[in-house]
Amino acid sequence: MMDEVMEELESVLSEHFGGTPVNSQEVPWHAWCLVDSGFAHIKNRYRNHDCETLAQLTALVDQSSVTNTAVSYPTWTWRQWKPFLELYFKPVTGIMQYQYFRFDQSKPGIVTAKIQHDGEETELQILKNPTFRFQNVERPHPVPSAGLSADRR
């Protein structure tokens, strides 16, 4: 009975995908993932084309398959957050042991943490000054990109 079901499944998948498994011992198309096939189309196209700009890469992804679409995000503004955060927040001792974190708007500066899902909640004060509120604080200035050196221009 099971052999008949597997044969029927193989037949249906063979018609749909246009092939048979390489190894007869494996379950037919068990490891096939459509996302992986999309990346495979991009990889094959990338191998055979020169791609030196973001615009070329976008076109390559769009042309790799009828289902692939490149998504470009706006330019990211980088800021030096570490020195900024060190001014107002203190490090959490033993943070690696916690798996669940919760923030409550009514308790600014407090993080509720748990080691496991059904574990006991622990309130952690993360502000250096518990009465401090971020009202008129500027964000850190953007980090300028290094760009090309004079020798490379």
pLDDT tens figures, 107-153: 999 999 999 999 999 999 999 998 888 888 888 888 887 776 667 66
Q: Are residues 46 and 100 part of one domain?
A: no
Which H helix or E strand runs over 13? helix 2-17
**Are 107 and 55 in a shared domain?**
no
What's the pLDDT at 51?
82
The beta strand positions in 39-99, using DSSP E, are none
pLDDT, average across residues 25-49: 71
Q: Give the single-character DSSP code of 74.
A: P
Q: Is residue 34 part of a domain?
A: yes
The pLDDT assigned to 14 comes to: 63
Q: Are 6 and 47 contained in the same domain?
A: yes
Domain that holds residue 95: 87-125
Radius of gyration of the chain (CA): 27
Burial (0-12, 13-18, 19+ Cβ within 10 Å), 64: buried
Task: Please give the tally of structural domains in the chain.
Answer: 2
Judgement on whether residues 58 and 103 belong to the same structural domain of the protein: no
**Are residues 17 and 31 in contact, defined by beta-carbon separation less than 8 angstroms?**
no
Helix, strand, coil share of the chain (percent; to 5) = 35, 10, 55
- Average pLDDT, rounded, for the chain: 81
Model confidence band, residue 15 (pLDDT cutoffs 50, 70, 90)? low
For tokens 């980088």, what's the residue? Answer: 78
- Regarding whether 7 and 60 lie in a shared domain, the answer is yes
pLDDT at residue 12 in the model: 64
In this structure, is residue 146 part of a structural domain?
no
